[in-house]
Amino acid sequence: MDYKKIELFLAAARHANMTVAAEELGLSQPALSKGIKALEKDLGVQLLERGRFGVVPTSYGGALMHHAQVIEAEMRNAKEEIEALKGAQTGHVLLGCGPTEANRLLPLALNDFALEHPHLKCTVLYGLNESLMPMLKNGELDFTLSSIPTQLIHPDLVQETLFTETASVVCGAQHPLIHEKVISAQMLMSYPWILPRKGEMERAAFDDFFIRQEFNPPQAVVETTSTALMKSWVMQSNALTFIPKELIYWEEKAGQLVELKIPAAAWTRRVGLSRRKKGSISPTGRVLIEKLRRIARENFD
């Protein structure tokens, strides 16, 4: 199977548009179509459905796309490995990052990365595990920096813990509860809440705290995946949230947000690196991973 033809197919499938894909590749649209049709002939199946509004992969195309993206990632890493052996100073790593890790750990590592290796490039895609893990498996990312589940749920991935973080109840700097010596579950019920969605790990731990205190968990006024929204609303109101402490590191230092000391409501999770078990890491990726490991050892409990 000709890898060049696979590249043509991947470009068309990603953009869902032959014209845009041809422009990206620097080809004419007829040349792109000819290459993809040749690949379809080699495989004996139709890979793309062509219509008025573009193209979409068929079931055969979807299967090829899944494997071809991983091959593409390995080819990218192989090329960089060869360039590194030749003494080239350029390289590129594709990284997926979660909200907590984007707050302090990754910026600290990227600062060192940029100072020591100014010719290396890093692209960071931001999101939750539900979007990052499929991208990692498909070869769209070299590795991710995000939460690590306590039980192995991705057997085709290798995961490494860098640190353990805690979550707690958080309020604004002027909240009435700040002055209370003992805060009960009943007192927490009196305020509006902005929380992660049902089913997320933090939300399950939050609900469990109230159930253990024999209360029905408070209903969230707002459910969101946006930590920026959680923090900004809490800072501007008497609302409360339940959020990983690492996410309020800078606001707590600035006196804008406060952790309410409620030991029974504490929750922990692991944060670390995930990569494909059968995949390789480029030289640039290895440089960044070592910096993340060092920063985690030196700055995080």
Q: pLDDT digit string (tens) for 64-108?
A: 877 777 777 767 766 766 665 555 456 788 899 998 899 999 999
Task: Tell whether 85 and 122 lie within a shared domain.
Answer: yes
pLDDT band for position 280 (cuts 50, 70, 90): confident
Report the CATH number that the domain containing residue 250 is assigned in CATH: 3.40.190.10
Q: One-letter amino acid identity for 181?
A: K
Task: Tell whether 154 and 277 lie within a shared domain.
Answer: yes
Task: Tell whether 207 and 192 lie within a shared domain.
Answer: yes
pLDDT band for position 289 (cuts 50, 70, 90): very high
Rounded to whole angstroms, how far apart are CA atoms 199 and 203? Answer: 7
Task: Tell whether 146 and 284 lie within a shared domain.
Answer: yes
Which tens digits make up the pLDDT trace of 227-263? 899 999 999 999 999 988 899 999 999 999 999 988 6
Contacts of 192 (CB under 8 A, 6+ apart): 221, 237, 238, 239, 240
Q: For residue 84, what pLDDT is reported?
A: 59
Rounded to whole angstroms, how far apart are CA atoms 48 and 38? Answer: 12
Q: For residue 56, what pLDDT is reported?
A: 87
Task: Tell whether 144 and 176 lie within a shared domain.
Answer: no
**Residue 199 zone, left/alpha/beta (φ > 0; ψ -120 to 50; rest):** left
Question: How many domains in the chain?
Answer: 3
What global pTM score does this model have? 0.68
- Domain limit, last residue, from 69, 88, 105: 69
Q: For residue 31, what pLDDT is reported?
A: 84
Kindly state the percentage of the chain with pLDDT values over 70: 93
Q: Are strands 241-244 and 157-172 parallel, antiparallel or unpaired?
A: antiparallel
For range 165-184, the mean pLDDT = 90
Q: For residue 145, what pLDDT is reported?
A: 95
Task: Tell whether 170 and 259 lie within a shared domain.
Answer: yes
For range 106-113, the mean pLDDT = 94
Contacts of 68 (CB under 8 A, 6+ apart): 6, 9, 10
Q: For residue 77, what pLDDT is reported?
A: 66
For range 19-25, the mean pLDDT = 83
Rounded to whole angstroms, how far apart are CA atoms 283 and 262? Answer: 45
Task: Tell whether 174 and 197 lie within a shared domain.
Answer: yes
pLDDT at 197 over 70: yes
Rounded to whole angstroms, how far apart are CA atoms 79 and 11? Answer: 19
Whole domain around residue 245: which residue ranges?
A: 166-268
- Determine which of 21-35, 166-180, 233-247 has the lowest per-residue pLDDT on average: 21-35
Residue 123 CB neighbours (<10 A): 11
Average pLDDT in the chain? 85
Q: Which residue has the higher pLDDT, 252 or 277?
A: 252
Closest CA to 234 of 195, 197, 267: 195
